[in-house]
Amino acid sequence: MNVHHKRYIVIFILCCIFMVCVHAKTISREPKLYPYENPQELLTKAEEYLNRNVNDSALLCFTAVIGQFPDKVPSEYRSTVITALNGIGLIHFMNGNYSEAYTNFAQSINIDERADSPGYINIAGLFHYYGDEDRSVEYLRKGFEAASTHNNQYYLCLSFINLVNSAIATGNFTNLKDLTVRFRSDLKEKTTPESLYALKLADAADVAVSGNYLEAVKYLKVIPKVLDGFFLQDRALFDTNANIGRLFQQGNMNDSAMYYMKKAEQYAISQRQPDMIVEITKNLAALCKANGDKEGWEKYRYRWLELQDSLFYIKGMNEVHNLEMGYEAQRYGKEIEHLTIEKNFRMKLIIISAIGIFVLLVLLLIVLNYNKKLVTKNHDLFQKNLDILELKRNGTETHNVKDERESEYKVNSKESKIADSGLPETNQNIPTNSGDDSCKNGYALSENYMEDLWHRIQSVMEREEVFCNQEFSMQKLSEILNTNTKYISQTINWKTGQNFTSYLSEKRMDVACSRFIDNDTYGQLTLEAIITDVGYKSRSSFIKTFKRYTGLTPSEYRKIAIEKSGAHKD
| DSSP-based three-state secondary structure for 432 | strand
CB atoms within 10 A of CB 176: 19
| pLDDT score of 543 | 92
pLDDT tens column, 116-137: 677 777 878 777 776 677 888 8
pLDDT over 80 (residue 5):
no
What average pLDDT does this structure show over 246-262? Answer: 83
Exposed (0-12), middle (13-18) or buried (19+): which is 240, by Cβ within 10 Å? buried
What average pLDDT does this structure show over 324-346? Answer: 57
Q: Lowest-pLDDT range, 82-86, 502-506, 508-512?
A: 82-86
Cβ contact 90:101 at 8 Å? yes
What average pLDDT does this structure show over 285-304? Answer: 81
| One-letter identity of residue 274 | P
Q: Which CATH class is domain 402-422+446-569?
A: mainly alpha
pLDDT tens column, 354-408: 898 888 888 888 888 887 888 888 888 888 888 887 787 776 554 443 344 334 3
Query: How close are the terminal C-alpha atoms of the chain, in Å?
Result: 114
| pLDDT score of 387 | 82
| pLDDT score of 190 | 81
pLDDT tens column, 33-73: 444 457 888 888 888 887 777 888 888 888 888 877 777 78
**Higher-confidence residue: 339 or 493?**
493
| pLDDT score of 124 | 80
Q: Lowest-pLDDT range, 440-449, 507-516, 528-537, 543-552?
A: 440-449
pLDDT tens column, 435-469: 444 444 556 678 888 899 999 998 998 898 999 99
Cβ contact 205:164 at 8 Å? yes
Q: Which of 241, 230, 296, 313 is nearest to 270 (CA)?
A: 241
* Segment holding 423, helix H or strand E: none
| pLDDT score of 161 | 86
% of the chain beyond a pLDDT of 90: 8
% of the chain beyond a pLDDT of 70: 76
pLDDT over 80 (residue 318):
no
Cβ contact 489:419 at 8 Å? yes
**Higher-confidence residue: 324 or 318?**
318
pLDDT tens column, 465-495: 999 998 999 999 999 999 899 999 999 999 8
pLDDT tens column, 234-248: 788 888 888 888 888
Cβ contact 69:82 at 8 Å? no
pLDDT tens column, 259-288: 888 888 887 787 777 777 777 788 888 888
Q: What span, in angstroms and rounded, lies between the C-alpha atoms of 27 and 13?
A: 21
What band does 114 get if pLDDT is binned at 50, 70 and 90?
Answer: low
What band does 569 get if pLDDT is binned at 50, 70 and 90?
Answer: low
| pLDDT score of 400 | 45
| One-letter identity of residue 429 | N
| One-letter identity of residue 114 | R
pLDDT over 70 (residue 532):
yes
Q: What span, in angstroms and rounded, lies between the C-alpha atoms of 213 and 168?
A: 11
Where in the chain are the domains?
Answer: 1-30, 332-397, 402-422+446-569
Mean pLDDT value across the chain: 76
Cβ contact 213:248 at 8 Å? yes
| pLDDT score of 13 | 67
Strands (E), 264-405: none
**Higher-confidence residue: 291 or 420?**
291
| pLDDT score of 338 | 62
Q: Which of 463, 461, 543, 542 is nearest to 504 (CA)?
A: 461
| pLDDT score of 388 | 83
Task: Please give the radius of gyration of the chain, using alpha carbons only, rounded to the nearest integer.
Answer: 46
pLDDT over 60 (residue 21):
no
| pLDDT score of 542 | 92
Q: What are the phi and psi torsion angles at 432 (to 5°)?
A: -120, 175
